Amino acid sequence: MNSSKNIKKAILTITGIVVAMIFVAPVLILINTSFKTLQEIYINILALPEKLSFNNYIQAFEKMDFLKSLINSLTIVIAATVLILIVSSMAAWVLVRYKTRISKILFLVFSSAILIPFQCVMLPLVDVMSKLHLMNRPGLIFMYVGFGCSMSIVLFHGFIKNVPIELEEAARIDGCNMFQTFFRIVMPLLKGIMATVAVINVMWIWNDFLLPSLVINKNGLQTLPLRTYLFFGQFTKKWDLATAALVLCMIPVVVFYLSCQKHIVKGITSGAVK
């Protein structure tokens, strides 16, 4: 009996290692390639660099105007994420606490919206936003809030079900209105799921290329993913600088994810069981 359990454990361990290697391999190849010259990349992309040099990173940093692009990305990501957290948490709380036929229909609409691909609404969205003169940074943030709220409301909805309603009733007895009850009583209890929602939204907004390319693809406003496209021309591709630029773009979001990863599973599982 013990031998069969050990065999199963060994198989699962080996499977986990293989799967981890499959996922980690592209990242390791990217980092390895970022230290090579263009000639070395064309000769053998998997070989180690002949000389460890940070010249690619220095050139990519300068040509990307990294600091300005970083500020652009941070401005959009922070503003959109904060608005998503506030709007979606309040909406989910109302949908949970005020159960009516309309609230059930609205929650179904938000749940269904997750399944709609962005490409299906891309052209009509751009047309409408251009007519409203919102093809700018505030318009982009507004669009991110719209796309991010559906998944966020679903996650908050499951978590808020576990929040004791007696706390809110006690707050109302003490004279708190709806907003005071939410911001003073409910929101402090949502820290776990808020970290989860923040990580999920920060990652996809930070890495998004298509929507910013349609809305703010102008010099001085471009985000980091847009600036990396600078190294991919129609006839030539500067893989040495492009890989270094991609690593630079990856570092901030990886650091953010590693600092918050413990909250992801905790936040999701907390709302999974009532």
pLDDT in tens, 44-78: 888 888 888 899 999 999 988 999 999 999 999 99
Helices 66-97 + 137-160 axis angle, to 10:
40
CA nearest neighbour of 147 among 128, 119, 127: 119
Residues of the chain with pLDDT under 70: 1-2, 234-235, 263-274
**Contacts of 223 by beta carbon, 8 Å cutoff, 6+ apart:** 69, 72, 73, 76, 212, 216
In this prediction, residue 230 carries a pLDDT of 80
In this prediction, residue 245 carries a pLDDT of 92
What the block records as the tokens of 238 is 């500067």
In this prediction, residue 85 carries a pLDDT of 95
**Contacts of 52 by beta carbon, 8 Å cutoff, 6+ apart:** 35
In this prediction, residue 2 carries a pLDDT of 63
**C-beta contacts of 99-106 below 8 A and 24+ residues apart:** none
In this prediction, residue 274 carries a pLDDT of 44
The dihedrals phi and psi of 237, each to the nearest 5 degrees, come to -130, 120
In this prediction, residue 88 carries a pLDDT of 94
What the block records as the tokens of 39 is 């000639």
| pTM for the whole structure | 0.86
